[in-house]
Structure 1
Amino acid sequence: MSSTIRAAHADRIPAPIYLLAVGAFAIGTEGFMISPLLPRLAQDLSVTIEQAGQLVTAFALAYGISSPILTAATGGLNRRTLLVASMVVFALSNVLAFLAPGYWWLMAARVLLALSAGLFVPGANALAGAIVAPERRGRAIAVVNAGITVALALGVPLGAEIGHGLGWRMTFAAVAALSAIAAVGVYVGVPREIGQGIPTATLRERLSVAARPAVLVTLLSTTLWATGAYTVYTYLSPLVTALTPLRENQIGIVMFAWGIAAAVGVFSGGGLSDRLGPPRVIVPAVTLMGLAFFSLALDAQWLSPAHALWPVMGALMVWAVSHWAFYPAQQARLIQLAGVSVASIVLSLNASFMYIGFSIGAGVGAIALRHGPVGHLGIVAGLLELASVAATLALLVRRRPSARAASAC
């Protein structure tokens, strides 16, 4: 059946792939939308903003650790069946979050959301790559991942508006409905036969790739990059309202601008990486992120809210563009280091290390807020980004002599 689909759609992306992108959109919206809702959520659940931030930590940590394990453990199952099941669980987990009577029920729902999301995203990428011709594989996977990019640009700000207008519970209700639509779409629109016989890397194969020194250092630089970003992103709402005249009900506008800038970063980063090479995108992008974060700390220290609005917004836009310009370049870099034959494994590992960084960042941000003013978030995040740049530069310097020796031979 997969060969039939390939033949019938040799010149275009098959419709089932767009259904997978809808699922990725639902997951991206849920995963990123909680940040602008934290102040209202903390108030309703009678917890501190730092405790509410641990809902982000729980989701990201559960995703980062469980995704490679569950994907390997379910490798023998039909991909289509697994995708439908994981999206159904994702929808039901959103219902549980909507109905959560307290903080710990919501925490449990977030963990279930992470487990199901960590199964769906790599499974959707694998299925997308299996049902098209090899020369269309990259484009098919890009369509699936575009669902997350669109979620950043549209889903997250829309979720913020729904949360501020109707309450944070309604955002989970909306994502539950969207997830149900995605589950039905995959069930009806993706033929059963195309989910059979798709190879999945074992956990041992994943660990063997991660253990390669150059790959491991690069994955650690991903974790540092993600940790710095989520030190600020998790608490973006209280940061913006403290530094500028903007109020909570205006955060949706900020998230919309941030999401558009992030989409620009994704597409420009990939193109620049192809033309200039990944390191020439990675190093400047992460350096700019660090400088943007440091500028937020300076704005908090030296500017009044009335004067800080445009400097803060400018820093947020620079961060968004450079943050997401880094990601496709880092993926290309990892494929260079690990080899095309294990590209799917190393990219899956990169996603796991990224989400682990997100979880650490939410925790680090909570500690920074607990022990200092909100401007300290920028200082901590900036230092983490510089550490990521240092790891990348150290690897480049170390590999340069070996590259010269190889070319001389």
Structure 2
Amino acid sequence: MGTDLFVVSPLLPFISKAYEISPATAGWMVTVFAVTYACSAPLFGWLSDKKGRRRFITFGLLLFAISNALTAFASSFLWLIVSRILAGLSVASVTPLIYAIIGDIAPPNRRGTWLSIVVSGHLTALWAGAPFGTLLEHFFGWRSVFVVMAIIGAILVVVNLKTWKSISKSDLTRNPLEGNTLRILGSISVTTIWAISIYALYVYLGAALYSENRFSSSEIALAITFYGVGAVLGSLTSGQLTDKFGERKISKATLIFLALILICLGVFFSSGYWIYFLLFIWALVGYAGFTSYQARLTMEYPKERGIVMAWNNTALYIGITIGSLIGGYVISNWGYTSLPYVCSMAAIMSFVLSTQKVQEAKKESESSVDI
């Protein structure tokens, strides 16, 4: 699932060349994927509570295989966009359901660690899936990447038919959003702005490295590997720290460090091989914040966990959508090197909003004690 999203960024220069379009236009592949996900994930989350998760995970993996096959053999950019819409629909019926299950079954004092493992599995696509896809492009062309993913998706359909047999459906008799809608929307908006701070740059990272540092496809793959390893380590480390110091403290601290790292990335973006280290630190801090905030949401909304995690994933992809649009606008008007500074501003906004949510939570807690 992660590879299907993350592999597109390093392939954008080659896809845009194949269809004779600009990298900004090619970025719409990510945009339509994210929009589809954002619109359909809450629906799948709600339906899975009613009808069971197995059928939707299986459906998603089957559609995943079909959509990637269509991406591989798309004869025009229009069909390419259609294939990414189907891919977004497929991922929406799988990913939120996994997060919801882990949130339900994890012990309270280990929830941060368990979620960090799940997130790190998803992020493995950054250091393994995406670079491997870039290397495949180097030897066999970019279409081969999606052929391989289609084959793996088809295999996983069979595997998951057996894996989820023991998961029974639950009877959803109440609306978990009742009375909490505004509070939940405020909480997940932190995720949206965080996603902008990451993906406004990441979506165009391959094109930026090619333009500003003249990196080859293998050097782009190595850069994505550094980023991916940092993301996985950040997620795993965050899980341990979250269980020890608390979700709120870690999520706030990482957002401050994220803003500072992005400024450094902007200053040294064209510094050649130093970019590898900066990408590693950027991902380390950024995804530590994402994991700790996921744990915070599961803690703050125990009765609405399934729906909230689905909405949080929707918020994530809304952020990716807005980030890709902002990134395309920035590179068209001010160039690639301006992107880190724009992302830093988004990280600061996310921190401010996160702090506000903490203050509101404290007020609610004090009110309940007074009562």
Equivalent residue, structure 2, for 1:24:
none
Does residue 290 of structure 1 match 2:290?
Answer: no
CA deviation digits over 1:97-147, x for unaligned, max 9? 1110111111110110111111122334556778x7978995877665553
Equivalent residue, structure 2, for 1:108:
82
Residue 236 of structure 2, aligned match among 243, 267, 274? 267
Equivalent residue, structure 1, for 2:200:
231
Distance 1:170 1:266 in 2: 30
Q: 1:374 to 1:127 in 2, by over 3 A?
A: closer
CA drift of 1:198 comes to 3.3
Cα contact 1:127–1:195 (8 A) shared by 2: no
The alignment's C-alpha RMSD in Å is 2.7
Equivalent residue, structure 1, for 2:143:
169
CA drift of 1:230 comes to 0.6
CA drift of 1:289 comes to 1.8
* SS in structure 2 of the partner of residue 375 of structure 1: helix
Q: Which moved more, 1:262-271 or 1:289-298?
A: 289-298
Distance 2:211 2:9 in 1: 15
Distance 1:343 1:177 in 2: 33
CA drift of 1:368 comes to 0.4
Equivalent residue, structure 2, for 1:179:
153
Percent identical across equivalent pairs? 25
Q: Which runs of 5+ in 1 are unaligned?
A: 1-26
Distance 2:259 2:173 in 1: 35
Distance 2:197 2:87 in 1: 23
Equivalent residue, structure 2, for 1:328:
291
Equivalent residue, structure 2, for 1:279:
248
Aligned pairs, number: 370
Residue 388 of structure 1, aligned match among 333, 350, 356? 350
Residue 151 of structure 1, aligned match among 99, 117, 125? 125
Equivalent residue, structure 1, for 2:310:
348
Distance 1:63 1:152 in 2: 19
Distance 2:280 2:173 in 1: 38
CA drift of 1:406 comes to 5.4
Q: 1:115 to 1:310 in 2, by over 3 A?
A: same
Does residue 92 of structure 1 match 2:54?
Answer: no
Q: 1:129 to 1:369 in 2, by over 3 A?
A: closer
Q: Which moved more, 1:396-405 or 1:255-264?
A: 396-405
Cα contact 2:116–2:235 (8 A) shared by 1: no
Cα contact 1:292–1:316 (8 A) shared by 2: no
CA drift of 1:51 comes to 0.5
Q: Which runs of 5+ in 2 are unaligned?
A: none
Equivalent residue, structure 1, for 2:322:
360
Cα contact 1:84–1:183 (8 A) shared by 2: yes
Cα contact 1:37–1:168 (8 A) shared by 2: yes
Cα contact 2:72–2:146 (8 A) shared by 1: yes
What is the TM-score of this pair, normalised by structure 1? 0.82
Q: Which amino acid aligns with 1:122?
A: P
Distance 1:124 1:399 in 2: 27
Q: Which amino acid aligns with 1:299?
A: F
CA drift of 1:67 comes to 0.7
Larger Rg: 1
Residue 316 of structure 1, aligned match among 262, 270, 279? 279
CA drift of 1:78 comes to 4.5
* SS in structure 2 of the partner of residue 331 of structure 1: helix
Q: 1:172 to 1:267 in 2, by over 3 A?
A: same
Distance 2:70 2:119 in 1: 26
Equivalent residue, structure 2, for 1:250:
219
Distance 1:136 1:176 in 2: 38
Q: Which amino acid aligns with 2:9?
A: S
Q: Which moved more, 1:311-320 or 1:171-180?
A: 311-320
Map 1:53-72 → 2, pairs under 5 A? 53-72=27-46
Cα contact 2:69–2:147 (8 A) shared by 1: yes
Q: Which amino acid aligns with 1:36?
A: P
Distance 2:168 2:367 in 1: 45
Distance 1:191 1:270 in 2: 26
Equivalent residue, structure 1, for 2:19:
45
Cα contact 2:254–2:289 (8 A) shared by 1: yes
Q: 1:35 to 1:201 in 2, by over 3 A?
A: farther
Residue 185 of structure 2, aligned match among 200, 206, 216? 216
What is the TM-score of this pair, normalised by structure 2? 0.90
CA drift of 1:276 comes to 1.5
Cα contact 2:42–2:311 (8 A) shared by 1: yes
Q: 1:201 to 1:84 in 2, by over 3 A?
A: farther
* SS in structure 2 of the partner of residue 211 of structure 1: helix
Does residue 190 of structure 1 match 2:159?
Answer: no
* SS in structure 2 of the partner of residue 291 of structure 1: helix
Cα contact 2:116–2:239 (8 A) shared by 1: no
